[in-house]
Copies of this chain bind each other. A is one copy, B any other.
Amino acid sequence: MENIITSKDNPVIKLYQKLSSSKKERLQYGLFVLEGMRIVEDAVKENSGLSHLIMTKQAYEKFGETFFQADLRNTKIIVISNELGRKIALTDSTQGVFAICRMPSESTVKFKENGRYIVLYGLQDPGNVGMIIRTADALGIDGVILSGSCELYSPKVVRSTMGSIFRMRTAVENDTERLFAILKENGITASASVIDRDAEKITECDFKGSHAIFIGNEGSGLPGDIALRCDRRITIPMSGTINSLNAAMACGILMWELKKQT
């Protein structure tokens, strides 16, 4: 076994903690953090550019072997004391498995014929963003684009994707003009999802060709001007208490209907 690191002043541990707490540092270094056996395994399996794999002594003894078979030539493996593991953990019941991972340097979304995309416009809840990426992965959506939403690589978003962050194609485009220009260039029809009985019902929508559905902020929905700039306005018909669909759930139902016509 390597030397066991016990000090918080170790440079890798210091880096891990900076990346763990600061969006600024994450974007500056182009790195983000992972915690937990399952998500670190997913990162290894999807070949997602792990720069450091950090394990507590206990985790190294328990899980180390799993990683020896993987191709980790570009990954530095570090063993830390169990106590230090508890200090850097963000979850209460940590497994003692951590990693530092490189962000893709640009958008991984590929535009294609009959593509199905989701635009998260102003979504602020990391749990919702993570769950949407996870669901998009399950349903086979071709890309999730974030615009003015919470940070894609925050520990909370990454954790709630349950590993789908490494499989789902994603992009961040915070400039609204550029966002609409990209959609236009690629021949993508933009649909604004709104709560409005007069909007087109998703059960009656034609989704031929390439489509992107815009999902708005959890509390306030899509801004009116954005809904009007989209090619059409669509809605989920509800027979129960209106307004009570959570943003991630509404997005899940929209993706489901969008995929059914592929």
Please list the residues of chain A having a beta carbon within 8 angstroms of any beta carbon in chain B.
Answer: 131, 134-141, 162-164, 167, 203, 238-246, 248-249, 252-253, 256, 259-260, 262
The CA of A253 and the CA of B135, in the complex, are separated in Å by 11
Instruction: Determine the distance from Cα of A197 to Cα of B240 in the docked complex, in whole angstroms.
Output: 31
Rank and list the top 4 A-B pairs by shortest CB-CB distance, nearest first: A140-B239, A140-B240, A138-B244, A138-B245
Residues of B within 8 A of A137 (CB): 240-241, 244
Given A131-B249, A138-B244, 5 new contacts (CB under 8 A): A138-B240, A140-B238, A164-B244, A203-B260, A252-B252
Chain B residue with Cβ nearest A248? B249
Nearest neighbor of A141 in chain B, beta-carbon distance: B240
**A238-B140, A240-B141 known; A135+B256 contact, CB < 8 A:** no
CB pairs A–B below 8 angstroms (28 shown): A131-B246, A134-B244, A134-B245, A134-B246, A134-B249, A135-B245, A135-B246, A136-B240, A137-B244, A138-B238, A138-B240, A138-B242, A138-B244, A138-B245, A139-B239, A139-B240, A140-B238, A141-B240, A162-B244, A164-B241, A167-B241, A239-B259, A239-B262, A249-B249, A252-B252, A253-B253, A253-B256, A256-B256
Which residues from B are CB-within-8-Å of A136? 240
Interface core residue of A164, A241, A253 (most chain B CB under 10 Å):
A241
The CA-CA distance from A45 to B245 in the complex, in Å, is 19
A186 to chain B, nearest CB (A): 21
